[in-house]
Amino acid sequence: MAINNKRRIILKSSGAAAATSVLGAGALMSQISAFADTSSRMSKSDQLQLTATQAVTFIRDGRLSAAAYMLTLLDRAEHLAGLNTLISLNRDGALAAAREVDAKRAAGIPLPPLAGLPIVVKDNINVAGMKTTGGTPALRDMRPTSNAPMVQRLIDAGAIVLGKANMHELAFGATSTNFSKFAGFVRNPYDETRVPGGSSGGTAAAVAARIVPAGLGTDTGGSVREPASLCGVAGYRPSVGNGGSERRYDAQGVLPISHTRDTIGVIARTMQDVALLDTVMSGRPIATAVDLRGIRLGVPGSYWSNIDPEVSSLLEKAKLTLRNAGITLVDVDTTGLAALVGVTGFPIALHEAKVDIPAFLTEMGVNVTLEDIAAQVASPDVKPIMDAVIEDKAAAEYATALHVNRPKMQSIFAAYFADNRLDGMVFPTMVVPAPVIDHVTGSPQVSVNGGPPASFFAVATRNTDAGSTSGLPGITIPAGQTAKGLPVGLGLDGPIGSDSKLLGIAMSIEATLSVLPAPSLG
C-alpha cells in the first residue's frame, strides 16, 4: 500500500510566522540554516536510532534540527510504505510544525518538554484535521475537529503527529490483518510475512521499524502489549479499574469498544520513553527506575504452562537475570481466574460496543449508524463479531459479567498481590512468536507446543485478558529473539493504581536484559 499525495493530510501552523516577527525574517532564516547545518552532521542512520528521550534532548539542546529529524522520519515512512504501518501520513503538517519548533528555538523561546517529537496515533484516536477511520470502510471519511484529550496533552507538550497508524479493523482482532482497501495488512518489521499483532499493530510496527520513536495505541484485552511484544518494543496499558476514577488516562475522543475496559496506551522503544509520554498524559511525576533488590514478583504457573519451547527458553533465562538482579520471584499461581475470564470479558465488550459506538458516532456528528459499519466491514474475522454486537447477543450476560464476575476477578488479583506481598506478577506476554499472515481469513490457526490448532486471537490474549478485564496496569518489554529473529516479550501486571511503581520496575528490568537489534529493513 503506497502512501500517496491523496492520502496526505495537511495541518497548518502559524508558529514560524510568529517567531519571524521576533527576529526578523533574515536573521531567523540565518539561524535556522545554521541550526540545520549543525544537525546535518548527525547521519540519517543515527537519527533513526534515537529514542524519544534522546530526540527531544538533542532538539532542545540544539544538536538536532526538528525539521531535519522530521524529514528523515517522513522519508523513512514513505520508504517503508509496504509495511502498511500508516493509514495517513501528515507530511506537510508535520514538517510545518517541526519548522515552528526550530523557529522558536532560534528566537530563544523556551521549548516544551516534547518539542519536535514525532509520534504516530492509532487511527481510532481523534486528531484534529486528520481522519479517524477505525480502519473500517464506513468511517474512512470521518474527520474530527478536535483532538482526543490525551493527544491534546502531547501536542501541548510539543509532540508532532507524523501520521495515523493502521490497525485491526475496528480494533476487533489480534493480527492487524486489515482487509479494508485503504488500510491493508500490517506487516511485522522483523519478518514481513508475519503479523505484527493487534489491534495496535500499526503503531507497534512503526516504532519497531524506526519510523517514529513512540506512538499511541489502544488496549481493551491486550491490544497494546501483544503487538509491542511481537514487534520487539515496549508497551504500556495504564490502570483502568472499573473505567471510572481509577482510570489513569482520559478515554474521550476514541472510537470505542468498551467504556469500562478500553484505554489509550503507549508504545515506544524504551521504558524511559514510555515514562516520558506517561508523565505528560497522566499529569503525574515521571516514573523513575527502582532498586530491584527487595522487589517481589509472582510467577503464576498457569501463565507459564503450555507455551512455545523457544519462548519458554528465552523467558526462563530472563527469570534468571531477574533473580540475579535481586528480584524475589514467588512461584504462586492465581486461582479461580480461568473460569471467570471467558464469561466476563466478551460479554462486557460486546454489549458495551452496542451502546458505546453509536454514542461516539452521535458525538462526532456523522451520519453513520452501527448497522452501516457492520454492513461494510471488510475483514472476514471482524464480520461475525460485529454481527454479534448488532444482535446484542451478550445482553443477558452483561449485568452478571459487570457486577458479579469482574468484581470477583478484581478480588482474586487483589488477594494475590496482598497475600503474597507482591509488587506485581511476571509472565510471557505472548505464548507464541508472531505467526504467518493469513491472507484468507485474517485470523490464523496456531499450534502451541505441538497441540491442536487454535485460534490465534485466543492464544494471543491468553495471558493479557484477565488483567485487562480487571483493569490492572500492564507492561511488556523485549526479552530476546527466537532462532528466526522473532521478538519475545516479558509481561508485567500490577495492582490497580500501582502504575508509577510498575513503570519503575519495568525500567530497571529492561536495563538488565539484552537490547534487541533493529530489524533489517534497509
Helices vs strands, H then E, count in the chain: 21, 13
The set of cell numbers assigned to 272 is 524511559
The set of cell numbers assigned to 417 is 498481590
| Buried b or exposed e, range 326-352, using 16+ CB within 10 angstroms | ebbbeeeebeebeebbeebbbbbbbbb
Sequence-distant (6+) residues with CB within 8 A of 504 are 287, 288, 289, 290
Distances in Å between the Cα of 456 and the Cα atoms of 169, 345, 359, 480 are: 16, 17, 31, 21
For 509, the 3-state DSSP assignment is helix
Q: Give dist(CA 113, CA 121) in Å, integer.
A: 19
Q: Give dist(CA 367, CA 135) in Å, integer.
A: 17
Contact status, residue 361 vs residue 342, Cβ threshold 8 Å:
no
Distances in Å between the Cα of 248 and the Cα atoms of 53, 191, 237, 423 are: 22, 34, 10, 19
**Residues assigned a catalytic role:** 122, 199, 223
Q: Give dist(CA 466, CA 409) in Å, integer.
A: 8
Q: Give dist(CA 151, CA 125) in Å, integer.
A: 8
| Buried b or exposed e, range 152-189, using 16+ CB within 10 angstroms | bbbbebbbbbbbbbbbbbbbbbbbbbbbbebbbbbbbb
